């Protein structure tokens, strides 16, 4: 099977001036992979979650100023609607900038749209509470499952910010896969045993700080497996 068939792209035709058609982002390190500003990339990937936090905290204030949101329920439902809109916007911006869809945000976005729609339709906040469990489990399974096929999917998200050896990406991928599964368990414990307000507070003051601390703990590994600048220059060449 040719490379173009494996990646889902159409071979370019130099005579017609065609370029490869690539719907999903290319592998990390692929010379054809389009780069965007690392800060913008991170904003597009975690921005919708921050929108959810803000909209949930200021749901009544937002509903007063956006009439159609005032009819969908309380703050958590307003936050869910804003989350869905922000996710669609983030994916659209990614497409506009790179003409490809980022794999990890696309998968989480699909879950957001399905469970967000169920939350708004049934007016049952359980669905939005279960969403982090499903997303974290999905990410954990994707990261760990990809390793069975020799793929370190974490590199798809962070290769524009970090240049690591294949072994570095493999270890980092494994650690994050296990971390996501652990966070799925934590979310289940929180939403099943505590109030909605506590669950929301944990997402802001517990979930994010834990993720930040875990990220900082990976810095020594990333330093050990960072590619030298000359290797990076050769890869670009």
pLDDT at 109: 66
The pLDDT assigned to 18 comes to 45
Radius of gyration from C-alpha coordinates of the chain: 20
My answer on whether 83 and 182 are in the same domain is: no
How confident is the model at residue 96, as a pLDDT? Answer: 83
Residue 134 domain-assigned (yes or no): yes
**pLDDT value at residue 201:** 86
Proportion of the chain above pLDDT 90, given as a percent? 14
Assess whether 92 and 189 both reside in one domain: no
**Domain extent at residue 191:** 125-237
CA distance 56 to 79: 4
Flag whether pLDDT at 171 surpasses 90. Answer: yes
d(CA 142, CA 173): 10
pLDDT at 217 over 80: yes
Residue 177's pLDDT band, with cuts at 50, 70 and 90, is: very high
Residues 233, 163, single domain; the answer is: yes
pLDDT tens track for 53-96: 787 777 777 777 777 666 666 677 777 778 778 888 888 887 88
One domain, residues 116 and 145: no
Is 138 part of a structural domain of the chain? Answer: yes
Split into its structural domains, the chain has a count of: 2
pLDDT digits (tens, 9 = 90+) for 105-156: 676 667 666 766 777 677 777 777 887 887 788 788 888 888 887 777 777 6
Q: Is residue 76 domain-shared with residue 152, that is, in the same domain?
A: no
Output the CA–CA distances (angstroms, integers) from residue 216 to 120, 177, 208, 211, 223, in the order listed.
Answer: 36, 16, 12, 9, 11
Question: Residue 19's CB: how many other CB atoms inside 10 A?
Answer: 12
pTM above 0.75, yes or no: no
The verdict on 115 and 173 lying in the same domain is no
Residue 191 lies in a domain: yes
Residue 207 has pLDDT above 50, yes or no: yes
The mean per-residue pLDDT over the stretch 170-198 comes to: 92
In whole angstroms, what is the distance from residue 232 CA to residue 159 CA? Answer: 12
| Whether pLDDT at 27 is above 70 | no
The Cα 215–Cα 130 span in angstroms is 24
Tell me: do 118 and 129 sit in the same domain: no
Last residue of one domain, picked from the residues 99, 122, 145: 122
User: In whole numbers, what is the pLDDT of the chain averaged over residues?
Assistant: 75
Indicate whether 226 and 143 sit together in one domain. yes
Last residue of one domain, picked from the residues 69, 103, 122: 122
């Amino acid at each position: 099977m040719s490379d173009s068939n494996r990646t889902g792209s159409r071979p370019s035709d130099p005579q017609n001036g065609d370029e490869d058609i690539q719907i999903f982002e290319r592998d990390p390190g692929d010379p054809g992979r389009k780069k965007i500003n690392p800060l913008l990339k991170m904003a597009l990937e975690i921005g919708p979650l921050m929108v959810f936090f803000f909209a949930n905290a200021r749901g009544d204030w937002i509903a007063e100023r956006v009439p159609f949101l005032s009819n969908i329920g309380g703050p958590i439902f307003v936050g869910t609607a804003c989350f869905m809109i922000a996710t669609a916007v983030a994916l659209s911006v990614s497409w506009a900038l790179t003409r490809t869809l980022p794999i990890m945000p696309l998968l989480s976005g699909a879950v957001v749209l399905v469970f967000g729609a169920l939350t708004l339709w049934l007016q049952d906040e359980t669905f939005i509470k279960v969403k982090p469990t499903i997303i974290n489990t999905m990410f954990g399974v994707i990261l760990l499952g990809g390793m069975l096929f020799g793929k370190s999917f974490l590199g798809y998200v962070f290769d524009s910010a970090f240049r690591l050896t294949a072994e570095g990406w493999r270890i980092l991928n494994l650690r994050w896969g296990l971390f996501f599964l652990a966070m799925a368990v934590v979310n289940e414990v929180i939403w099943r045993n505590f109030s909605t307000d506590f669950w929301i507070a944990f997402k802001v003051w517990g979930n994010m700080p834990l993720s930040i601390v875990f990220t900082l703990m990976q810095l020594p590994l990333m330093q050990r497996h960072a590619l030298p600048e000359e290797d990076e220059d050769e890869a670009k060449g």
